[in-house]
A = this chain, B = another copy of it.
Amino acid sequence: MINVEEAFKILSQNVGANASVNMDLNAALGYVLAEDVKSLIDMPSFDQSAMDGYAFNFQEDINDYKVVGEVAAGSSDNPQLKIGEGVRIFTGAMVPNDANIVVQQEWIDRNENMATITQEVKVGRNIRLKGEQIQQGDIALEKGTLITPAGVGFLTGLGIAEVSVVQKPKISLITTGNELVKVGNGLEPGQIYESNSTMLAAAFEQYDFKNYSMTTVVDNYEATKENIHEAIQNSDVVILTGGISVGDYDFVGKALQELNVEQLFYKINQKPGKPIYMGKKGDTIIAGLPGNPAAALSCFYMYVLPTLHLMMGKGFQGLEKVALPLGEDYTKKGSRAEFLKARIKDGQLFVLNMQSSAMLRSFATADALVYIPASTTNVAKMEKVDAYRLR
Protein backbone atom coordinates (compact mmCIF):
# COMPACT_ATOMS: atom_id res chain seq x y z
CA MET A 1 0.00 0.00 0.00
CA ILE A 2 1.38 3.38 -0.99
CA ASN A 3 0.53 6.83 0.32
CA VAL A 4 -1.29 9.66 -1.42
CA GLU A 5 1.82 11.60 -2.42
CA GLU A 6 3.46 8.48 -3.85
CA ALA A 7 0.37 7.88 -5.96
CA PHE A 8 0.52 11.45 -7.32
CA LYS A 9 4.18 10.98 -8.19
CA ILE A 10 3.64 7.64 -9.92
CA LEU A 11 0.92 9.17 -12.10
CA SER A 12 3.10 12.18 -12.99
CA GLN A 13 5.86 9.81 -14.07
CA ASN A 14 3.69 7.43 -16.06
CA VAL A 15 1.13 9.55 -17.85
CA GLY A 16 2.17 11.52 -20.93
CA ALA A 17 0.46 14.10 -23.11
CA ASN A 18 -1.59 12.99 -26.10
CA ALA A 19 -0.72 13.76 -29.70
CA SER A 20 -1.72 17.07 -31.23
CA VAL A 21 -4.61 17.72 -33.58
CA ASN A 22 -5.65 20.69 -35.71
CA MET A 23 -8.90 22.19 -34.63
CA ASP A 24 -11.22 25.06 -35.46
CA LEU A 25 -10.38 27.84 -33.03
CA ASN A 26 -14.04 28.09 -32.04
CA ALA A 27 -13.99 24.45 -30.91
CA ALA A 28 -10.64 24.73 -29.15
CA LEU A 29 -11.84 26.47 -25.99
CA GLY A 30 -10.40 24.61 -22.98
CA TYR A 31 -7.69 22.85 -24.99
CA VAL A 32 -3.95 23.37 -24.57
CA LEU A 33 -1.93 24.72 -27.51
CA ALA A 34 0.46 22.12 -28.95
CA GLU A 35 2.47 24.77 -30.82
CA ASP A 36 3.22 28.47 -30.57
CA VAL A 37 0.64 30.52 -32.47
CA LYS A 38 2.05 33.39 -34.52
CA SER A 39 0.11 36.45 -35.51
CA LEU A 40 -0.94 36.64 -39.16
CA ILE A 41 -1.23 40.44 -39.04
CA ASP A 42 -0.09 43.57 -37.26
CA MET A 43 -2.61 44.51 -34.59
CA PRO A 44 -3.96 47.03 -35.05
CA SER A 45 -3.30 46.65 -38.75
CA PHE A 46 -3.46 50.42 -39.23
CA ASP A 47 -3.16 53.49 -36.99
CA GLN A 48 -6.53 53.38 -35.29
CA SER A 49 -8.66 55.96 -33.53
CA ALA A 50 -9.33 55.08 -29.88
CA MET A 51 -12.18 57.60 -29.57
CA ASP A 52 -15.09 59.29 -31.25
CA GLY A 53 -13.78 62.77 -32.07
CA TYR A 54 -11.56 64.57 -34.54
CA ALA A 55 -8.26 63.68 -36.20
CA PHE A 56 -6.10 66.69 -36.94
CA ASN A 57 -2.92 67.63 -38.72
CA PHE A 58 -2.01 69.24 -35.44
CA GLN A 59 0.52 71.85 -34.37
CA GLU A 60 0.83 72.96 -30.76
CA ASP A 61 0.21 76.61 -31.57
CA ILE A 62 -3.02 75.98 -33.46
CA ASN A 63 -6.35 75.54 -31.63
CA ASP A 64 -8.83 76.01 -34.47
CA TYR A 65 -9.06 73.41 -37.24
CA LYS A 66 -10.99 73.25 -40.46
CA VAL A 67 -13.04 70.03 -40.74
CA VAL A 68 -12.68 68.79 -44.31
CA GLY A 69 -14.27 65.36 -44.10
CA GLU A 70 -15.10 62.31 -42.08
CA VAL A 71 -13.72 58.79 -41.57
CA ALA A 72 -16.12 56.13 -40.31
CA ALA A 73 -15.06 52.85 -38.76
CA GLY A 74 -14.45 50.34 -41.54
CA SER A 75 -13.76 52.98 -44.13
CA SER A 76 -10.56 52.87 -46.22
CA ASP A 77 -10.63 56.65 -46.75
CA ASN A 78 -7.33 58.36 -46.16
CA PRO A 79 -8.03 62.05 -46.78
CA GLN A 80 -5.10 64.44 -47.24
CA LEU A 81 -4.87 67.06 -44.52
CA LYS A 82 -2.86 70.25 -44.49
CA ILE A 83 -1.60 71.70 -41.22
CA GLY A 84 -4.65 73.17 -39.48
CA GLU A 85 -7.08 70.72 -41.09
CA GLY A 86 -8.87 67.72 -39.64
CA VAL A 87 -11.64 65.18 -40.07
CA ARG A 88 -14.47 63.87 -37.96
CA ILE A 89 -13.46 60.33 -36.89
CA PHE A 90 -14.95 57.44 -34.96
CA THR A 91 -13.66 54.77 -32.58
CA GLY A 92 -11.90 52.02 -34.50
CA ALA A 93 -11.57 54.06 -37.69
CA MET A 94 -8.30 54.43 -39.60
CA VAL A 95 -6.46 57.64 -38.73
CA PRO A 96 -5.42 59.50 -41.92
CA ASN A 97 -1.69 59.44 -42.64
CA ASP A 98 -1.61 63.22 -42.40
CA ALA A 99 -3.18 63.29 -38.91
CA ASN A 100 -1.03 63.12 -35.78
CA ILE A 101 -3.69 63.31 -33.05
CA VAL A 102 -7.27 62.34 -32.25
CA VAL A 103 -9.10 64.63 -29.82
CA GLN A 104 -12.25 63.20 -28.25
CA GLN A 105 -15.40 65.10 -29.15
CA GLU A 106 -16.03 66.08 -25.50
CA TRP A 107 -12.96 68.35 -25.79
CA ILE A 108 -14.05 70.03 -29.03
CA ASP A 109 -16.22 73.07 -29.69
CA ARG A 110 -17.71 72.56 -33.14
CA ASN A 111 -18.91 75.58 -35.04
CA GLU A 112 -19.98 74.99 -38.64
CA ASN A 113 -16.88 73.56 -40.35
CA MET A 114 -14.50 74.68 -37.60
CA ALA A 115 -13.44 72.56 -34.62
CA THR A 116 -11.76 74.21 -31.63
CA ILE A 117 -9.71 72.20 -29.13
CA THR A 118 -10.69 73.22 -25.60
CA GLN A 119 -8.06 71.38 -23.56
CA GLU A 120 -4.33 70.99 -23.62
CA VAL A 121 -3.41 68.03 -25.78
CA LYS A 122 -0.26 66.38 -27.14
CA VAL A 123 0.73 64.79 -30.43
CA GLY A 124 -0.14 61.07 -30.63
CA ARG A 125 -3.16 61.29 -28.35
CA ASN A 126 -5.88 58.61 -28.82
CA ILE A 127 -4.08 56.89 -31.66
CA ARG A 128 -3.48 53.16 -31.38
CA LEU A 129 -0.38 52.69 -33.47
CA LYS A 130 -0.19 49.99 -36.11
CA GLY A 131 1.28 46.84 -34.55
CA GLU A 132 1.34 48.22 -31.00
CA GLN A 133 -0.42 45.17 -29.54
CA ILE A 134 1.38 42.61 -31.70
CA GLN A 135 3.25 42.46 -34.98
CA GLN A 136 2.87 40.00 -37.82
CA GLY A 137 4.95 36.89 -37.14
CA ASP A 138 5.26 37.53 -33.39
CA ILE A 139 4.19 34.77 -31.03
CA ALA A 140 0.63 35.53 -29.97
CA LEU A 141 0.17 32.61 -27.57
CA GLU A 142 2.81 30.13 -26.54
CA LYS A 143 2.72 26.36 -26.76
CA GLY A 144 1.20 25.03 -23.53
CA THR A 145 -1.28 27.90 -23.14
CA LEU A 146 -4.81 26.94 -22.19
CA ILE A 147 -7.30 28.50 -24.61
CA THR A 148 -9.72 30.77 -22.76
CA PRO A 149 -12.58 32.92 -24.08
CA ALA A 150 -10.15 35.88 -24.16
CA GLY A 151 -7.69 33.68 -26.06
CA VAL A 152 -10.36 32.80 -28.61
CA GLY A 153 -11.11 36.50 -29.03
CA PHE A 154 -7.45 37.48 -29.25
CA LEU A 155 -6.57 34.87 -31.88
CA THR A 156 -9.73 35.54 -33.88
CA GLY A 157 -8.76 39.18 -34.00
CA LEU A 158 -5.42 38.15 -35.48
CA GLY A 159 -7.15 36.33 -38.32
CA ILE A 160 -6.48 32.86 -36.94
CA ALA A 161 -9.15 30.24 -37.68
CA GLU A 162 -7.41 27.00 -36.75
CA VAL A 163 -4.96 25.96 -34.04
CA SER A 164 -2.92 22.89 -33.15
CA VAL A 165 -3.94 21.58 -29.73
CA VAL A 166 -3.24 18.56 -27.55
CA GLN A 167 -6.02 16.05 -28.06
CA LYS A 168 -8.18 15.38 -25.02
CA PRO A 169 -8.33 11.79 -23.80
CA LYS A 170 -10.96 9.34 -24.93
CA ILE A 171 -12.55 7.64 -21.94
CA SER A 172 -14.25 4.26 -21.60
CA LEU A 173 -16.25 3.74 -18.43
CA ILE A 174 -17.10 0.16 -17.46
CA THR A 175 -19.44 -0.47 -14.57
CA THR A 176 -19.59 -3.90 -12.97
CA GLY A 177 -21.90 -5.40 -10.40
CA ASN A 178 -24.85 -7.79 -10.51
CA GLU A 179 -26.64 -5.89 -7.77
CA LEU A 180 -27.04 -2.81 -9.99
CA VAL A 181 -30.37 -1.84 -11.53
CA LYS A 182 -31.00 1.08 -13.89
CA VAL A 183 -33.27 3.84 -12.60
CA GLY A 184 -36.79 3.43 -13.92
CA ASN A 185 -36.90 -0.25 -12.99
CA GLY A 186 -38.28 -1.60 -9.72
CA LEU A 187 -35.87 -2.48 -6.94
CA GLU A 188 -35.92 -6.12 -5.82
CA PRO A 189 -34.55 -7.04 -2.38
CA GLY A 190 -30.76 -6.89 -2.47
CA GLN A 191 -30.63 -4.61 -5.50
CA ILE A 192 -29.48 -0.99 -5.66
CA TYR A 193 -29.78 1.68 -8.33
CA GLU A 194 -26.67 2.02 -10.45
CA SER A 195 -25.44 5.56 -9.94
CA ASN A 196 -21.70 5.46 -10.53
CA SER A 197 -21.97 5.71 -14.30
CA THR A 198 -24.32 8.73 -14.31
CA MET A 199 -22.24 10.36 -11.57
CA LEU A 200 -18.93 9.88 -13.37
CA ALA A 201 -20.43 10.90 -16.72
CA ALA A 202 -21.55 14.12 -15.03
CA ALA A 203 -18.02 14.61 -13.72
CA PHE A 204 -16.59 14.09 -17.24
CA GLU A 205 -19.06 16.68 -18.53
CA GLN A 206 -18.30 19.15 -15.79
CA TYR A 207 -14.58 19.02 -16.48
CA ASP A 208 -15.15 19.08 -20.22
CA PHE A 209 -14.13 15.59 -21.23
CA LYS A 210 -16.91 14.90 -23.68
CA ASN A 211 -15.37 11.99 -25.51
CA TYR A 212 -16.52 9.06 -23.41
CA SER A 213 -18.51 5.86 -23.69
CA MET A 214 -20.20 3.78 -21.00
CA THR A 215 -20.77 0.04 -20.68
CA THR A 216 -22.25 -2.09 -17.94
CA VAL A 217 -21.02 -5.67 -17.60
CA VAL A 218 -22.42 -8.43 -15.43
CA ASP A 219 -20.14 -10.15 -12.91
CA ASN A 220 -18.81 -12.72 -15.36
CA TYR A 221 -15.12 -13.25 -15.97
CA GLU A 222 -15.16 -13.64 -19.76
CA ALA A 223 -17.51 -10.73 -20.35
CA THR A 224 -15.47 -8.52 -18.02
CA LYS A 225 -12.20 -9.42 -19.71
CA GLU A 226 -13.56 -8.97 -23.23
CA ASN A 227 -15.00 -5.56 -22.38
CA ILE A 228 -11.80 -4.34 -20.77
CA HIS A 229 -9.72 -5.64 -23.68
CA GLU A 230 -11.83 -3.76 -26.20
CA ALA A 231 -11.84 -0.58 -24.10
CA ILE A 232 -8.04 -0.61 -23.85
CA GLN A 233 -7.78 -0.84 -27.65
CA ASN A 234 -10.10 2.11 -28.16
CA SER A 235 -9.37 4.55 -25.35
CA ASP A 236 -6.76 6.62 -23.61
CA VAL A 237 -8.29 5.98 -20.21
CA VAL A 238 -10.37 3.00 -19.09
CA ILE A 239 -12.28 3.56 -15.88
CA LEU A 240 -13.79 0.62 -14.04
CA THR A 241 -16.04 0.95 -11.03
CA GLY A 242 -16.50 -1.93 -8.63
CA GLY A 243 -14.94 -5.30 -8.93
CA ILE A 244 -11.45 -4.43 -7.70
CA SER A 245 -11.27 -6.08 -4.32
CA VAL A 246 -10.77 -9.43 -2.72
CA GLY A 247 -14.35 -10.57 -3.14
CA ASP A 248 -14.88 -13.91 -4.90
CA TYR A 249 -17.11 -12.26 -7.47
CA ASP A 250 -14.66 -9.52 -8.42
CA PHE A 251 -13.28 -10.49 -11.79
CA VAL A 252 -11.65 -7.23 -12.73
CA GLY A 253 -8.30 -7.89 -11.08
CA LYS A 254 -7.98 -11.28 -12.73
CA ALA A 255 -8.94 -9.89 -16.12
CA LEU A 256 -6.34 -7.12 -15.88
CA GLN A 257 -3.59 -9.63 -15.07
CA GLU A 258 -4.63 -11.85 -17.93
CA LEU A 259 -4.54 -8.85 -20.29
CA ASN A 260 -0.97 -8.02 -19.19
CA VAL A 261 -1.89 -4.66 -17.78
CA GLU A 262 1.08 -3.32 -15.83
CA GLN A 263 0.07 -2.37 -12.30
CA LEU A 264 1.11 1.15 -11.31
CA PHE A 265 -0.33 0.81 -7.84
CA TYR A 266 -3.08 -1.00 -5.97
CA LYS A 267 -4.40 0.41 -2.70
CA ILE A 268 -3.60 3.82 -1.26
CA ASN A 269 -3.39 4.48 2.47
CA GLN A 270 -6.46 6.72 2.40
CA LYS A 271 -10.10 6.97 3.32
CA PRO A 272 -12.28 6.74 1.35
CA GLY A 273 -10.97 4.85 -1.65
CA LYS A 274 -8.31 2.53 -0.24
CA PRO A 275 -8.87 -0.20 -2.88
CA ILE A 276 -8.07 1.94 -5.93
CA TYR A 277 -6.09 0.37 -8.75
CA MET A 278 -4.16 2.16 -11.49
CA GLY A 279 -2.46 0.32 -14.33
CA LYS A 280 -1.08 0.94 -17.77
CA LYS A 281 -1.02 -0.87 -21.06
CA GLY A 282 0.82 0.89 -23.86
CA ASP A 283 -0.29 4.51 -23.54
CA THR A 284 -3.65 3.57 -22.04
CA ILE A 285 -4.24 4.14 -18.34
CA ILE A 286 -6.62 1.79 -16.55
CA ALA A 287 -8.23 3.09 -13.36
CA GLY A 288 -10.11 0.66 -11.14
CA LEU A 289 -12.27 2.72 -8.81
CA PRO A 290 -14.01 1.38 -5.72
CA GLY A 291 -17.68 0.49 -6.14
CA ASN A 292 -18.84 2.66 -3.26
CA PRO A 293 -20.02 5.88 -4.89
CA ALA A 294 -18.39 8.45 -2.59
CA ALA A 295 -15.11 6.54 -2.75
CA ALA A 296 -15.37 6.25 -6.54
CA LEU A 297 -15.96 10.00 -6.97
CA SER A 298 -13.26 10.96 -4.50
CA CYS A 299 -10.77 8.75 -6.37
CA PHE A 300 -11.93 10.18 -9.68
CA TYR A 301 -11.22 13.72 -8.52
CA MET A 302 -7.89 12.96 -6.83
CA TYR A 303 -6.33 10.50 -9.31
CA VAL A 304 -8.26 10.21 -12.56
CA LEU A 305 -8.84 13.93 -13.15
CA PRO A 306 -5.09 14.71 -12.88
CA THR A 307 -4.48 11.80 -15.27
CA LEU A 308 -6.89 13.35 -17.77
CA HIS A 309 -5.19 16.73 -17.30
CA LEU A 310 -1.75 15.21 -17.89
CA MET A 311 -3.03 13.65 -21.11
CA MET A 312 -4.49 16.92 -22.38
CA GLY A 313 -1.23 18.77 -21.75
CA LYS A 314 -2.18 20.64 -18.59
CA GLY A 315 0.29 18.83 -16.37
CA PHE A 316 -0.68 17.23 -13.04
CA GLN A 317 -3.55 19.47 -12.05
CA GLY A 318 -6.87 18.02 -10.93
CA LEU A 319 -9.00 20.02 -8.54
CA GLU A 320 -7.72 23.40 -7.46
CA LYS A 321 -5.78 23.17 -4.19
CA VAL A 322 -6.32 25.86 -1.56
CA ALA A 323 -5.18 26.30 2.04
CA LEU A 324 -7.94 27.43 4.39
CA PRO A 325 -8.54 27.35 8.15
CA LEU A 326 -10.70 24.58 9.55
CA GLY A 327 -13.84 25.95 11.24
CA GLU A 328 -13.86 23.31 14.02
CA ASP A 329 -11.42 20.96 15.74
CA TYR A 330 -10.99 17.69 13.92
CA THR A 331 -9.59 14.40 15.18
CA LYS A 332 -8.75 11.70 12.70
CA LYS A 333 -9.18 8.07 13.76
CA GLY A 334 -6.84 5.51 12.33
CA SER A 335 -3.67 5.83 10.32
CA ARG A 336 -5.06 6.47 6.86
CA ALA A 337 -5.03 9.84 5.14
CA GLU A 338 -8.53 11.29 4.71
CA PHE A 339 -10.38 13.25 2.06
CA LEU A 340 -13.31 14.83 3.87
CA LYS A 341 -16.36 16.37 2.24
CA ALA A 342 -16.59 19.95 3.49
CA ARG A 343 -18.34 23.24 2.91
CA ILE A 344 -16.69 26.62 2.80
CA LYS A 345 -18.33 29.32 4.89
CA ASP A 346 -16.76 32.74 5.49
CA GLY A 347 -13.43 31.44 4.26
CA GLN A 348 -13.40 28.49 6.68
CA LEU A 349 -13.80 24.79 6.01
CA PHE A 350 -16.52 22.85 7.82
CA VAL A 351 -16.37 19.08 7.61
CA LEU A 352 -19.79 17.61 6.85
CA ASN A 353 -21.52 14.67 8.51
CA MET A 354 -21.89 11.38 6.64
CA GLN A 355 -18.36 10.77 5.39
CA SER A 356 -18.95 7.06 4.71
CA SER A 357 -17.64 5.86 1.38
CA ALA A 358 -21.13 4.59 0.59
CA MET A 359 -22.79 7.95 1.18
CA LEU A 360 -23.07 10.65 -1.47
CA ARG A 361 -25.41 12.80 0.57
CA SER A 362 -22.69 15.05 1.97
CA PHE A 363 -20.74 15.02 -1.30
CA ALA A 364 -23.80 16.38 -3.13
CA THR A 365 -23.57 19.72 -1.32
CA ALA A 366 -19.82 19.83 -0.61
CA ASP A 367 -17.60 22.68 -1.81
CA ALA A 368 -14.28 20.99 -1.19
CA LEU A 369 -12.42 17.88 -0.10
CA VAL A 370 -10.29 18.56 2.98
CA TYR A 371 -7.06 16.60 2.96
CA ILE A 372 -5.83 15.26 6.29
CA PRO A 373 -2.44 13.59 5.75
CA ALA A 374 -1.88 10.09 7.16
CA SER A 375 0.56 11.41 9.76
CA THR A 376 -1.87 14.02 11.16
CA THR A 377 -4.21 13.16 14.02
CA ASN A 378 -5.52 16.43 15.42
CA VAL A 379 -6.27 19.65 13.60
CA ALA A 380 -7.20 22.57 15.82
CA LYS A 381 -9.91 25.06 14.93
CA MET A 382 -8.50 27.83 12.66
CA GLU A 383 -5.48 25.73 11.73
CA LYS A 384 -4.93 25.83 7.98
CA VAL A 385 -5.39 22.64 6.00
CA ASP A 386 -5.11 21.82 2.33
CA ALA A 387 -8.39 21.38 0.53
CA TYR A 388 -9.37 20.60 -3.03
CA ARG A 389 -12.11 22.81 -4.45
CA LEU A 390 -15.09 21.19 -6.12
CA ARG A 391 -16.80 23.16 -8.86
Q: A195 to B153, Cβ gap below 8 A?
A: yes
Q: A149 to B187, Cβ gap below 8 A?
A: no
Which one of A30, A74, A293 has the highest number of Cβ atoms from chain B below 10 Å of its Cβ?
A74
How many chain copies?
A: 2
Chain A 120-161 interface residues, beta-carbon cutoff 8 Å to B: 128, 133-134, 140-141, 145, 148-161
What residues of chain B lie closer than 8 Å to A282, measured between beta carbons? none
Q: How far apart are A4's CB and chain B's nearest CB, in angstroms?
A: 20
A113 interface residue (CB < 8 Å to B): no
What residues of chain B lie closer than 8 Å to A248, measured between beta carbons? 52, 88, 90
Chain A 168-216 interface residues, beta-carbon cutoff 8 Å to B: 177-180, 183-184, 187-196, 198-203, 205-206
Tell me whether chain A's interface is mostly helix, strand or loop, or mixed: loop
Q: A360 to B153, Cβ gap below 8 A?
A: yes
Closest 7 CB pairs of A and B: A153-B199, A74-B179, A150-B363, A74-B178, A154-B360, A156-B195, A149-B202
Given contacts A48-B192, A148-B365, A153-B200, list 20 more A-B pairs with CB under 8 A: A25-B198, A29-B202, A45-B192, A73-B177, A73-B179, A73-B249, A76-B188, A77-B190, A93-B190, A105-B246, A134-B361, A141-B364, A148-B202, A148-B390, A150-B199, A150-B366, A153-B202, A155-B364, A156-B198, A157-B193
